[in-house]
Amino acid sequence: MADNPIKEMILQSAFTLKGKDINDRYNKSESWEMKNALRELNQKRIKNDPIIKKKKNECRVKHKTGLWECPNCKEEVNRLTCAHIGTPVSNIIDKILLEEQYLDQKMSELYKALRSEHDDISIAICCDKCNKLLESD
């Protein structure tokens, strides 16, 4: 079977990069990787929760594609977020990563601790502007 000419054209494009070249430019620390992995896992868990999705869908502006109405300030916005009320998730992750009991723990244990820290945190669906009003620390 002959090579696919479109695939070959894409492979030769200036817009196709090698993974090794990207890896060679990467210079993040282990602590940065751990914090960002936890943040990303947490963000996806909340964002993909079926109730969150349902409530966000209720805020769609029906007559305008790609717009949402913030359920708090009623502004039409390009996106809605899931805001932590109180301590920002970044600070919660920092706290966990600095606790002696979690030093040298597996990712699954750290993520379990992060989920547990969320038991008493309220999450509000809102626009970016309202999100900023809900942070403390």
Tokens of 97: 């990563």
Residue 88 lies in a domain: yes
| pLDDT tens per residue, range 118-129 | 999 999 999 999
Q: Which of 66, 45, 55, 40 is nearest to 126 (CA)?
A: 55
pLDDT of residue 2 exceeding 60: no
Number of H helices, E strands in the chain: 7, 4
Residue 101 lies in a domain: yes
pLDDT of residue 1 exceeding 50: no
Q: How far is CA 10 from CA 14, 17, 48, 71, in A?
A: 9, 10, 33, 44
Residue 102 lies in a domain: yes
Residue 83 lies in a domain: yes
Residue 97, domain extent: 30-134
Residue 97 lies in a domain: yes
DSSP state of 87: S
pLDDT of residue 48 exceeding 60: yes
Beta carbons of 44 and 89 less than 8 angstroms apart: no
Bridge partners of residue 83, in order along the sequence: 124
| pLDDT tens per residue, range 57-93 | 999 998 778 899 999 999 999 999 999 998 889 999 9
Residue 25 lies in a domain: no
| Total domain count, the chain | 1
pLDDT at 26: 95
Residue 8 lies in a domain: no
pLDDT band at residue 102 under the 50/70/90 scheme: confident
Tokens of 51: 């109730």
pLDDT at 101: 83
Residue 19 lies in a domain: no
pTM (predicted TM-score): 0.80
Task: Report the C-alpha gap between 116 and 89 in whole angstroms.
Answer: 12
